[in-house]
Structure 1
Amino acid sequence: MSSSTRVGYQNGPNKGALSLLTCYGDGDSSDDDVPGPRVSTKRTHKGDEDICNKRLSKLPVPDVLKNNKTTPDEYISDPSQHGGRIRTFAHERGNWATYVFIPFKECEGIMELLSVIKDAIPSNIEVKQIDEFHISLTKTVILKHHWIDSFIDSLRKKTFQSKKFMILFNDLKIYCNEERTRTFIGMSIKTGHDSLVKLVEIMNECLGDFNLPHFYEDPSFHMSICWCVGDYEEELNSIISQVNHRFHEMMDFYSQDNWYIYVSFLTCKTGNKYFKFHLT
């Protein structure tokens, strides 16, 4: 993963190597201990071997090894570094979290709607803005590093004849992830459902080629705006009608381009890499 940024690793190889050099730099060995040019290095006298073994046995254990309680490639998952989100699968080196989606560019109307939502939510629930607004076409799956090129090629070949289309947003709804560890507020869609279903079928074909899980059987397409840690579906459903009333007023106030997506390309994110697939 040459282009990915590695985080959560401790005691990297450079630091460990320097520490080892520091610990052994002042040892008992010197150039005088090396046999001279007239001495055969293939046959060393037994006495010389004993001296060498004694010197080796006296070498102290480097501090870097004494204090190293984690292996160099060990990953320590810290939810605080991810806004409290909990991993649904263990991190393993060489595994890349991957999903395909339709991106939506941040706009004035959405940001104002986010402000309205935050004002209406009970103070005991901390909501956070979604990092990248989008409509998902796959679940987040684990892709082996050596599969990436083949997977991207498969997506490109199977989507190049897909047509561009329009998605109009509708009401706000509450959603929970499968593990019920996070709750989302998102905009449901009014148009574009059939085109999205066709794209999901294509995605499922590509996923099946790599024995990866398919998308939900009866997907509820939406674009999440904000989320919170935990299962707050019941609490948020109690205030969603009043937020929707404000939302409908805003749809009349802001221009229509705040509330639709013209889908001309798809995006696949794998690790920290992005791939774009243009539609016809």
Structure 2
Amino acid sequence: MLKNKGALGLVVEYGSDTSDDDVPGPRVSTKRTHKSDDELSDSERHYNKKDKMLPVPQVFRELSSDQHTDDPALHDDRIRSFAHVRGNWASYAYIPFENIDGVVDLVECIINKLAGKIPLKQTDDFHISLSKTVILKYHWIPTFVESIKSRIELSRKFLVIFDGLKIYCNEERTRTFIGLQIGSGYDSLLRIVEIVDKCLEEFSLATFYKDPSFHMSIAWCVGDFENELKSILPELNQKFSELTEAYTQEYWYIFVQSIYFKTGNKLFQFNLT
């Protein structure tokens, strides 16, 4: 029985036990001979090259390509505002809204009213934006997050109250939104935006809109339907007024205790004082 040995030891042992002298008959070497390239036939050269070329592992083939083809069908026909690039993380600051029952009822009424005319959909997550969606390099994230945290944690909690509906369209005119606009809490929101903007400027990123119209998007559609929706806005606001009477007050305001920052699949929460 062979003892456990390294590969080199086995080679040495094999070489010491077996030699050309052990083969009976004429002296014929049992060692494999190799032809030079000049001695090979065309077919031998072909197969010899195939043997030498190892396939590239799939993982490296995937890493070698930085191209990403966007498929709007995977995200409700929404169109990307910027190209996907590996290592770049879409990021934004916001305030979430959780008491959604009254808002969901309002959205259902609006969608039913416009069925067959404008293809509206309910917003996936109700929130108030505090920044544009910007691109952060992955290695910037820790520094950026610490910059926001150190500034925002000195800010006080505040109240935001909704007071009506308004129509919005994104800068590219590719999506139209129905939003609940802010009636109270504007100055407090503006102070938070100024803090976030300072952090963005440190990384030469786009700041928020000047004189922002703070709102919470509740429904949206692909395309520019701003004029069509504005024409029926009085009717939509009438429905909003009816529902504010049907639901208690807590369904129409946010007590802001934290600010959230989402970058890629990471979510950070910054508590106010």
Q: TM-score, normalised by structure 1?
A: 0.78
Are positions 1:249 and 2:249 aligned together?
Answer: no
Deviation at 1:259, TM superposition (A): 0.1
Are positions 1:102 and 2:90 aligned together?
Answer: no
Aligned mates of 1:54, 1:183 — CA distance in 2? 61
What corresponds to 1:183 in structure 2? 176
What corresponds to 1:55 in structure 2? 47
Say which SS state the counterpart of residue 35 (structure 2) adopts.
helix
Are positions 1:127 and 2:120 aligned together?
Answer: yes
Alignment-mate amino acid for residue 79 of structure 2: I
Structure 1 stretches lacking a partner, 5+ long:
1-35
Aligned mates of 1:113, 1:273 — CA distance in 2? 31
Taking a change above 3 Å as real, the CA distance of residues 61 and 152 of structure 1, as seen in their structure-2 partners, is: closer
What corresponds to 2:224 in structure 1? 231
What corresponds to 1:116 in structure 2? 109
Structure 2 stretches lacking a partner, 5+ long:
1-13, 20-31
What corresponds to 2:142 in structure 1? 149
Aligned mates of 1:226, 1:37 — CA distance in 2? 79
Q: Deviations over 1:75-101 (max 9, x none)?
A: 221001011111111000000000000
Alignment-mate amino acid for residue 55 of structure 1: Y
Deviation at 1:131, TM superposition (A): 1.2
Taking a change above 3 Å as real, the CA distance of residues 270 and 45 of structure 1, as seen in their structure-2 partners, is: same
Aligned mates of 2:33, 2:208 — CA distance in 1? 71
Are positions 1:75 and 2:63 aligned together?
Answer: no
Aligned mates of 2:99, 2:228 — CA distance in 1? 27
Deviation at 1:47, TM superposition (A): 2.3
Alignment-mate amino acid for residue 140 of structure 2: W
Are positions 1:162 and 2:155 aligned together?
Answer: yes
Aligned mates of 2:250, 2:15 — CA distance in 1? 83
Alignment-mate amino acid for residue 273 of structure 1: K
Asked if the contact 2:99/2:250 (under 8 Å) is kept, the reply is no
Deviation at 1:37, TM superposition (A): 5.2
Alignment-mate amino acid for residue 246 of structure 1: K
| CA RMSD across the alignment | 3.0
Aligned mates of 1:109, 1:231 — CA distance in 2? 27
Q: TM-score, normalised by structure 2?
A: 0.80
What corresponds to 2:8 in structure 1? none
Say which SS state the counterpart of residue 102 (structure 1) adopts.
strand
What corresponds to 1:195 in structure 2? 188
Are positions 1:259 and 2:252 aligned together?
Answer: yes
Say which SS state the counterpart of residue 47 (structure 1) adopts.
coil
Alignment-mate amino acid for residue 228 of structure 1: C
Deviation at 1:121, TM superposition (A): 1.7
Aligned mates of 2:137, 2:15 — CA distance in 1? 53
**Deviates further, 122-131 or 50-59:** 50-59
Say which SS state the counterpart of residue 166 (structure 1) adopts.
strand
Bigger CA radius of gyration: 2
Deviation at 1:55, TM superposition (A): 3.4
What corresponds to 2:9 in structure 1? none
Aligned mates of 1:149, 1:128 — CA distance in 2? 35
Aligned mates of 2:184, 2:201 — CA distance in 1? 28
